[in-house]
């Protein structure tokens, strides 16, 4: 793809540019990792390598429900919201990509509007609505808004993916004697699966990342998610900042992201760019 003639100097130049990019991206993350392994005394030392190491911070957060329960909430709420959002978005995206019906542009416009919607504008009214419906401080109280904000992303990414599927194959399979169900399961589903996995990752990351809804619509650890719970950590005494435990919690909630990024780098890039830039 790149220019064919590359001098050693250019190679060195791009190589160092790579190095700079990687360093800038990872240093703030490594700083969190370093903090999470520092003993309370070592935290007062700004050096990057901990002067004395400890697993105490991790032990502290993983031994109480103050962080474990929110972690479970984050995973549960994220998975349920993602599952429902991907199913609903797949249905709508199939219709957008394959069917002719009036109102399609209204749907696209609505999805775009929600994609750019300022969440804070919804916090006040939703807070009041959720209180009166008994949804405040419950899992559904977060799941429902997450689905709504996951849908536009899902519809965009999936309709882009669905339009690339060679749907003639379905017809061909039917000609060859497959039932519609077989044609769908054997031919279409495997082709659609990568797009759905990509969408699921992006929607889950969005839920996992949310903070504003999480602090606004919850009041106890029974439904508070992990990012919102970190604010309520307590130090060893009333007057110490719980730096170590917060750093450890930040590392714990970053681990799933690192795993996603390592295994699905191509998918995430494809999904991010397919929704916004059309080739």
Scanning residues 144 to 173, which ones bind other proteins (CB under 8 A)?
Answer: 144-145, 147-149, 151-152, 155-156, 159, 163-168
175 is a contact residue toward other proteins (CB under 8 A): no
Which alpha helices (DSSP H) does the chain contain, by range? Answer: 8-36, 40-43, 56-62, 65-98, 104-115, 120-133, 139-164, 168-175, 180-182, 189-209, 212-216, 226-229, 243-276
Give me the residue label for tokens 């903090």. 35
Phi-psi region of 193 (alpha: psi -120 to 50; beta: other; left: phi over 0): alpha
| Contacts of other proteins in 43-82 (CB under 8 A) | 43-48
Identify which of residues 236 and 265 has a Cβ nearer to other proteins in the complex.
265
Identify which of residues 128 and 185 has a Cβ nearer to other proteins in the complex.
128
Query: Given the rule CB under 8 A, which of 62-70, 173-181, 189-197, 262-270 is the region that contacts other proteins?
Result: 262-270
x/- letters, 19..48, toward other proteins (CB under 8 A): --xx-xxx-xx-xx--x-------xxxxxx
Taking CB under 8 A as the criterion, the residue among 12, 18, 65, 193 binding other proteins is: 18
- Comparing CA positions, the residue from 258, 255, 229, 205 lying closest to residue 71 is 229
Taking CB under 8 A as the criterion, the residue among 104, 189, 222, 234 binding other proteins is: 104
User: Residue 203: helix, strand or coil by DSSP?
Assistant: helix
Q: How far apart are CB 27 and other proteins at their closest, in Å?
A: 9
Residues 6+ apart with CB under 8 A from 28: none
User: How many Å apart are CA 174 and CA 181, to the nearest integer?
Assistant: 10
Identify which of residues 125 and 177 has a Cβ nearer to other proteins in the complex.
125
Q: How far apart are CB 43 and other proteins at their closest, in Å?
A: 6
Identify which of residues 18 and 182 has a Cβ nearer to other proteins in the complex.
18
Identify which of residues 178 and 212 has a Cβ nearer to other proteins in the complex.
212
User: CB burial class (10 A; 0-12, 13-18, 19+) of residue 7?
Assistant: exposed
User: How many Å apart are CA 240 and CA 259, to the nearest integer?
Assistant: 33
Q: Tell me the β-bridge partners of 38.
A: 53
Do 229 and 184 touch, CB atoms closer than 8 A? Answer: no
User: How many Å apart are CA 1 and CA 7, to the nearest integer?
Assistant: 16
| Contacts of other proteins in 109-148 (CB under 8 A) | 109-114, 116-129, 144-145, 147-148
Strands (E), 29-162: none
Identify which of residues 184 and 260 has a Cβ nearer to other proteins in the complex.
260
| Contacts of other proteins in 207-236 (CB under 8 A) | 208-209, 211-212, 216, 226-227, 230
Taking CB under 8 A as the criterion, the residue among 55, 172, 193, 258 binding other proteins is: 258
């Amino acid at each position: 793809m790149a220019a064919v003639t590359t001098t050693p100097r250019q190679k060195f130049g791009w190589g160092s540019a790579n190095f700079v990019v990687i360093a800038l991206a990872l240093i703030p993350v490594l700083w969190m990792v370093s903090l999470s392994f520092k003993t309370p005394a070592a935290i007062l030392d700004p050096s990057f390598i901990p002067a004395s190491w400890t697993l105490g911070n991790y032990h502290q957060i993983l031994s109480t429900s103050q962080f474990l329960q929110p972690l479970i909430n984050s995973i549960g709420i994220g998975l349920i919201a993602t599952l429902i959002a991907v199913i609903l978005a797949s249905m709508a995206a199939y219709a957008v990509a394959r069917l002719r019906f009036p109102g399609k542009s209204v749907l696209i416009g609505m999805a775009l509007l929600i994609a750019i919607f300022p969440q804070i504008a919804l916090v006040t009214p939703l807070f009041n609505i959720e209180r009166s419906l008994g949804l405040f401080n419950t899992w559904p109280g977060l799941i429902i808004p997450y689905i709504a904000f996951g849908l536009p992303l899902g519809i965009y990414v999936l309709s882009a993916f669905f339009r690339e599927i060679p749907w003639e194959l379905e017809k061909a399979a039917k000609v060859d004697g497959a039932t519609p169900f077989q044609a769908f399961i054997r031919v279409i589903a495997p082709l659609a699966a990568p797009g759905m996995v990509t969408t699921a990752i992006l929607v889950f990351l969005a839920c996992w990342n949310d903070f504003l809804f999480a602090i606004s619509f919850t009041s106890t650890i029974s439904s508070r998610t992990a990012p919102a719970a970190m604010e309520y950590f307590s130090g060893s005494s009333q007057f110490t900042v719980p730096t170590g435990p917060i750093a450890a919690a930040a590392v714990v909630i970053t681990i799933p992201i690192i795993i996603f990024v390592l295994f699905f780098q191509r998918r995430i890039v494809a999904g991010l760019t397919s929704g916004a830039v059309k080739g």
